[in-house]
Amino acid sequence: METDVLGLPYERHTIDLGSDDEGPVVATLVRRRAANPTRRAVLHVHGFVDYFFQTHMADFFVERGWDFYALDLRKYGRSLLPHQTPNFARSMTDYFPELDEAARIIREEDGHDQLLVTGHSTGGLITSLWAHTRRGRGLVDGLFLNSPFFDFNLPWVMRRPLMSMVLAVTGRYPYRKMPVANLGLYGRSLHHEHDGEWSYDLAWKPITGFPVRMGWLEAIRRGQHKLRSGLSIDAPVLVACSTRTFRGRAWHDDIRVSDSVLDVDHITRWAPGLSRQVTIARFDGGMHDLTLSGKEVRAEVFREVGRWVDAFLPAPGTPEAAIPPAPEDRAGIATALEAAEAAVENRTTDEADDKSGATA
């Protein structure tokens, strides 16, 4: 590990992922240790046009006794190399090797036996598919999805038949840019030089984003289709999103209190199909990245995450809550209940016999 760009106490480790058609590929694992040794760890995965800079999220977990890790995926943030197309991938499974290696480092090298994975937006889609594919291996103990990218925020005719037609025509040109303009409204709502409160590297997270490539679009579409068909993640899942979607194309203050990227109803529609244990939490006034919402809202988000973690991911070694015996399991009660049931059965039989004799 070496010192990260955020400075101490943040460290980073570069994961060598070989090469693809553009050349060498790496991912970057960022780490911040808790004050005291712990067996619990969090692994955060960012969204599209994003990287890890949300140090207040690390503060929250570290103060609760968790070691915090964040993974800048290949071609994002710290892992973006000069020869690469920013944020490009041909499949959501492209990211599985760095997720596998991050989990191995956290569990085997750093000695953790409890892992909570958090994923925002595209990171929520990726981690859901990864957790489903790696089920049964004891890698993921819980999954927190912050406004996950389960569907495109478009009318049905555009996100289904029209998109299929477009991708069928352009499928041979994965690096071709999709002819859409990012208005930068969400970026403006975040960065402190515009209408937001956050400071981050605009080279890694530009206000107007990076161009959307056809190959990436097809990869997202395939991943979403698999997710919407139903997953079997063998860990509890918390899915969180705003209560409102903003659909305007010009700046409005509502952008600061709603999801201006995704349709929140899509998120709640598809969430129950992830696992047998899914909790859905919606936050009034939440932005697309709930942890970057206004102060009061993000405080509510972290409180809810804390309650959910306490309920579904108790610290290793925490004794299980004793289950009180049912009344029929207590000494003497079972005999009394059996006697009462027998009396009812006898009375019912006698009444039936009386009726039978009266009508003979």
Q: Of the CATH numbers 3.30.70.2860, 3.40.50.2300, 3.40.50.1000, 3.40.50.1820, which one belongs to the domain with range 2-312? A: 3.40.50.1820
- So what's the pLDDT on residue 153? 86
- For the chain, the domains span 2-312, 327-358
Residue 148 has a pLDDT of 98
CA dist 37 and 118 (Å) reads 21
Instruction: Give me the sign of the Cα torsion angle 130, 136, 138, 142.
Output: positive
| Dihedral of alpha carbons 281, 263, 51, 226, sign | positive
**DSSP letter for each residue of 145-161:** EES---S-SS-HHIIII
d(CA 138, CA 234): 9
Instruction: State yes or no: cis peptide before 174, omega within 30 of 0.
Output: no
Q: How far apart are CA 66 and CA 34, in angstroms?
A: 6
Alpha helices in 52-162 (DSSP H): 55-63, 96-104, 122-133, 156-157
The CA distance from 345 to 360, in Å, is 23
The number of angstroms, rounded, from the C-alpha of 297 to the middle of its chain's C-alpha atoms is: 18
pLDDT of residue 172: 84
Residue 357 has pLDDT above 70, yes or no: no
Q: Which amino acid is at 261?
A: V
Q: Is the pLDDT of residue 199 over 60?
A: yes
pLDDT for res 339: 76
pTM: 0.88
- Higher per-residue confidence, 169 vs 46: 46
Q: What is the pLDDT of residues 232-265, one digit of tens each?
A: 999 999 999 999 999 998 999 999 999 999 999 9
